Structure 1
Amino acid sequence: MKELEQIFKHIKNREFLPIYFFHGEEAFFIDAAVKALENDVLTEDEKAFNQTVVYGKDTNYNDILALSRQYPMMGDKQLIIVKEAQDLKLNEDESRILENYATNPVESTILVFAHKHKKVDSRKKVFKVLDKANMLFHSEPVKDYNLAKWIEDESKSLQIKLAPGIAQLLADYLGNDLSRISNELNKMKLVLKEGEVLDGKLVETHIGISKEFNVFELQKALGKKDSNQAFKIAYYMGKNPKTNPIVMTIGNLYNFFSNVVMYHTVANQGQSLIASALGVNPFFVKDYAEAARNYPLKFSTRVISVLREIDLKSKGLGAVNMEESELLKEMVYKIVNIDKIKS
């Protein structure tokens, strides 16, 4: 949510809007904004009288706005927070009621909607009214290619110094789960000594991610067809199945080799167009180019079949009592020897 810092600043300065309607796919930013309002608008004594929290599945817009038109007790402001607002039903009558309230809100009420996991229908007039009044806030997911930068910024705000490459490692391994990333960084904030730098060893010890032996290093080794390194990584990962679940490994490799297949179809285009087609940062196009050289189209499609086969075996189909470590070794062997295996 691009306005988040501005929202925090205004809250700190006690400059409040009458309505905050947060919506969008990324719950992390919505939760952060709601928490700031919940913590800082009212004192603990005022909250007992003037803070109300309701849930979308238990109420409706008509009742919420009736609460909003009441006046605070023993204070200047009342705060009404509607959590899980995506569960509210917005029919024509309630849409009109909300629109009317948005055009003439009660100044002593701060009304907060947390509409998570999806966008509202911005074509509806009520949301156009909220948007025009700067009371509608869209929370978008952080793009994969911006995730490492977000982690760097989040670490900086927590005064955590990162060793080179650690932000990208966390981005690669933890994925786009901002809540998990934030929790891990806050945990490391408690662990790190003053002046200590968060490096690969600390990440492996406290978060369980090895900088050398993880699914992304395995992906890189397989892309290069470096069988020795791939087997070494697979051996380590097989010894640590809790931090390297095979389902995640297969999923990541499936996405990688699907992009290798896609690369073959767009290889004659410019780098930026290829990156767009693959949905990756242009920096990583070279990795797919190398993998495509090592796995021509007919072989890269066979790799997809191998991954599907291992996935079925990991679920107990066609492989009785096979350990994940053995499945990993079988998978690596078949991929690096894909040109020698009969289809």
Structure 2
Amino acid sequence: MSRTTPTFYVFHGEDEFTIREVVQDFKQKIGDAINIREFDDPKTPAAVILSEAQQIPFLADRRLVVVYGMLSFLGKRGAGAAAKEELERLLTGLPLLPDSARLVFVENTTLSDSHPILQLIHQTPTGYVKKYDVPKNPVAWIQKHVQTYDVKIEPQAAQALASVIGNDLRRADAELDKMAAFVGIGGTITERVVALLTPYVGEADIFEMVDAIGRRDGYRAMTLLHHKIEHDEQDPMQLFGMIIRQFRLLLLTREVMDEGGNVASVANQIGQKSFVAKKLVQQARNFSLQQLEAIYFHLLDTDIAVKSGKVDIHTALDLFVGSIT
């Protein structure tokens, strides 16, 4: 017995990037844009959606209709009687779609298993649902995804990129695209290439060093410090400036946190991207406001001592890490 081809689909979950790629694949298979219709407004009437999906394709055998955010909008608590009526129209109309229909509902959030449309899919052979979760191991994802650009990436380079993009796959893809163009087809993305082309990679190393300081792990902090100077050939004065900047951000973050602020308020008040703010909040928990103030002013005093020639920068960095840990 042949398997029934779905006529309506639900793609939901936090992995927005992969869902977008799946939808793009649908579009490419349809081909002619005249047989593709997209709706970004979740308040679009169900009757309009169903009518579009029921239309006969023009010189083709399939018609694609993509709807964004509609199911989560209709299924949210307190949506009201009108939303329930719209859901009922979908529940009635979806099983009746013609074989030519490809109606795709896209939700960049995870729908409850109890959502009426998901329940319908479990009972209807022409429905299909798939949940896309953000990968738990972004390093493995990067190593696999880079193959689509016909290049390779060193494990350390993948780790460096993952340390700054986290689970933001869209940003990871953009960075890989840029680096693949830099190394060329068949080339290899190294850790140095990542550091050269990707913002915040240097800051990621500083984050790790400050993490070690927060844990009072002097050996690890000192190892990272000398690795940056000797292996990565980081200019010591530039490195010192990055450390000062990091503790200034931590001081500002701690002030916001002590006033009851969260990651969003930190990002807004100190002007940082959300993924950076999240790291700052995690790190600031290792210090009290008083400790951060003392460290920051100690750094400023050290900066003056270095610039006035009282101490050389290498000694100053070693003394700083040693005194804090």
TM-score over 0.5 for the pair: yes
Is 2:145 the counterpart of 1:154? yes
**CA gap 1:70/1:214 in 2 versus in 1, 3 angstroms:** same
Partner of 1:27: 16
CA contact (8 A) 1:71 1:78 kept: yes
Q: 2:30, 2:36 within 8 Å by CA — same for their partners in 1?
A: no
Alignment map for 1:83-232 (pairs within 5 Å): 83-85=68-70, 88-90=73-75, 91-116=83-108, 118-131=109-122, 133=125, 135-143=128-136, 146-208=137-199, 209-210=201-202, 213-220=205-212, 223=215, 224-226=217-219, 228=222
Shift of 1:235: 5.3
Q: What is the Cα deviation at residue 218 of structure 1?
A: 4.2
| 1:1-343 equivalent positions in 2, closer than 5 A | 17-42=6-31, 44=32, 47-48=33-34, 50-57=35-42, 59-85=44-70, 88-90=73-75, 91-116=83-108, 118-131=109-122, 133=125, 135-143=128-136, 146-208=137-199, 209-210=201-202, 213-220=205-212, 223=215, 224-226=217-219, 228=222, 236-237=238-239, 239=241, 246=249, 251-252=278-279, 254-255=281-282, 258=285, 303-305=287-289, 337=323
Measured after TM superposition, the shift of residue 73 of structure 1 is 2.9
Secondary structure in 2 aligned to 1:95?
A: helix
Shift, 1:219, TM fit: 2.7
Instruction: Give distance in 2, aligned partners of 1:92 and 1:304.
Output: 50
Counterpart of 1:255, as a letter, is: Q
Aligned residues: 261
Q: 1:334 Cα deviation (Å)? A: 8.7
Distance 1:333 1:181, change over 3 A: farther
Q: Secondary structure at the match of 2:103?
A: strand
The CA deviation at 1:229 is 5.2
Tell me: CA distance 1:211–1:59, structure 2 relative to 1, closer, same or farther (3 Å): closer
For residues 60 and 238 of structure 1, the distance between their equivalents in structure 2, rounded to whole angstroms, comes to 58
Instruction: Give distance in 2, aligned partners of 1:169 and 1:236.
Output: 20
Alpha-carbon contact 1:174-1:180 (below 8 Å) kept: yes
Matches of 1:160 and 1:217 in 2, distance apart? Answer: 31
Q: Distance in 1 between matches of 2:134 and 2:290?
A: 32
CA deviation digits over 1:150-204, x for unaligned, max 9?
Answer: 1111123333212232211111122111100011111112111344321121111
**Cα distance in 1, alignment partners of residues 142 and 99 from structure 2:** 37
Q: Which residue of 1 aligns with 2:266?
A: none
Return the alpha-carbon distance in structure 2 between the equivalents of residues 255 and 130 of structure 1: 41
The 8 Å contact of residues 23 and 115 in structure 1, kept in 2 or not, is answered as yes
Cα separation, 2, equivalents of 1:171 and 1:188: 14
Q: Against the structure 1 CA distance between its residues 230 and 112, is the aligned structure 2 distance closer, same or farther, given a 3 Å change threshold?
A: same
Tell me the amino acid that sits aligned with residue 50 of structure 2. Answer: L
AA aligned to 1:18 is T
Letter of the 2:7 counterpart: P
* RMSD of Structure 2 on Structure 1 (CA): 4.0
Structure 2: any 5+ residue segments left out of the alignment?
A: 76-82, 229-235, 250-271, 305-312
- CA pair 202-104 structure 1, distance change in 2 beyond 3 A: same
Amino acid at match of 2:11: F
Amino acid corresponding to residue 176 of structure 2 in structure 1: L
Q: Which runs of 5+ in 1 are unaligned?
A: 1-14, 259-299, 314-318
Residue identity (%): 18
Q: Cα gap change, 1:182/1:190 in structure 2, threshold over 3 Å: closer, same or farther? A: same
Task: Give, in angstroms, the shift of residue 254 of structure 1.
Answer: 4.4
Give 2:254's aligned residue: none
Q: Deviations over 1:95-119 (max 9, x none)?
A: 2222223333221111111122x22
